[in-house]
Structure 1
């Protein structure tokens, strides 16, 4: 699983940062999932290593322009290119009406299926590998945060060990891989755990923007490998954050800390913190790291690879913390 930031500015684009969009690449299934789609996102996709032909799902947090103004253009371009099979779009009420109006007034027709899902809190998508949930955040309009959880997978099956035990291949191997207990015709009993390595713990990602600090964001980020959280303002501008219902760098860090997240990636920065100003983005990073040290600041086209966690690795982490 690989995260690519396509836009990390808030409100308006700058020379170095486009407005909100984050891509999640799933190479094991040749798919790209997009979170928010600010103006210019299709240009950012073209400048990245991502393939628009693999775009299959888009998750919209809310209906503010810096999060949706690029959606119609991207969908239309994908249709003209003719290389997309189907796109499912998830978002708050009003999203489908917005797209239908844009289609009607621009006389655009999609050459591929597009389905818009009006979401409610809870599970909004699930398959054999992933489960996606959402919860309302605290912003000026209806806004949702998302959590993508990869399901745990059995560890690697030791075929050589099974052969040494003279276990016949075929259906029995499949049962053991799934962790089942198998009784052979000769009476021998084997447990799947004897032949499988440590369970591969599913990776978890939370995406929370736009919002002020809220408990729902904490729950979405619970034990997440990566929390992507907005940090529009510096802690020194907390009053502005409260007025506009956006987060400061310290609120993002407090969310990660309270959730027990493993890594915080901050995004959605106000252009007011440009180099040379009294407060710069480096100051926001220092503020966050004072609370949650494992924090980084996202930038456009930044790529973050999410490693797997195994049971053994988790045990080692627990032991090192307790010692």
Structure 2
């Protein structure tokens, strides 16, 4: 019987086949003897099946015998009349042949089917596949996963969609004193674009803090701009921005607007320099059901294109 999938198979469970192996009985045996004496067992597998045909003219007189060990001149049988063959008496000098019985095929069949059940089929594999570089390929969705990370967790590559219904939300990230969550892009796509929104939601009895560092996409020279939005529905929000261009000799303008459901843009801060730090942008409203937005607009007033590093620190109060 195959061992898989409970344990791994070996030669004894799936048997070994050898071509043209024959020996002869050295004494008579009855239909119940379990020690089969032969001239030699050299070349025979240590376990398997042998067939003794006492009457070459009558195939019904062929007996299959299962054995599980050998000595140089004996087979130790575990079953006489194996595979629904008759258990018979045999004479000294009868041929003893290594044989393949139906059980060989059927047990190999069972082992292969068990393996396919565990592995799956092409396109519906039960295990992640690996590319030549050792990276895991996940063809479908990763769902219903949870766990504890003892060190930093890094998610690399764009696009990455996290959240329900195929959205791009990252829900319920709870920070602890050790470890961190880092989300980063790679290569030319390590950017944010106009319309990206950082949303801080929920109501807390104590302040919560959030840090975000990213690089914008290229902001063209001579007045090109990019806007980063931060929305929240808490009573108050304190945000600090630090904006630094990645090209030299870049003069930029950073403007911070506040907007909510009931008001148009309100300009809070405007600064022009090569590196800008805006501290303590405070927004407060009474209605927790009201969503407010804080807009950071970066305008490149220089003669060279540039990307910008943005560091954002938020403190949300319930």
TM-score (norm 2): 0.20
**Normalized per residue, which structure has more helix?**
1
**Structure index of larger Rg:** 2
TM-score (norm 1): 0.20
